[in-house]
Amino acid sequence: MSTRDKFITTLKTWVVIYPSITLFLYLFGDHLATLPLYRRTFLLTIFLVPWMVFIGMPLVRIIIRHLTANNKS
């Protein structure tokens, strides 16, 4: 994998994870604030990792594929 490909993968990951974490903390942050850090981290990752793998990243791939197909035509 080239440096350019790694950069693009990193950028796609960030585009999914940043708004996902922000929304999760906005919705549940007050409830999670009373929990110890290890429990908050566990809950955050137990929900967001599957979201990233099964929904977020595939959605980004579809959007990018759609945008690049429109630019080629």
State residue 53's pLDDT score: 95
In the chain, how many domains are there?
1
Q: What is the pLDDT of residues 24-63, one digit of tens each?
A: 999 999 999 999 999 999 999 999 999 999 999 999 999 9
Which residue segment(s) compose the domain that 23 sits in? 3-72
* pLDDT at 73 exceeding the cut of 70: no
* For residue 69, pLDDT beyond 80: yes
The pLDDT confidence band at residue 70, using thresholds 50, 70 and 90, is confident
Q: Taking 70 as the threshold, does the pLDDT of residue 13 lie above it?
A: yes
Write down the number of H helices and E strands in the chain: 3, 0
- The model carries a pTM of 0.81
Name the one residue in this structure whose structure tokens are 């595939």: 58
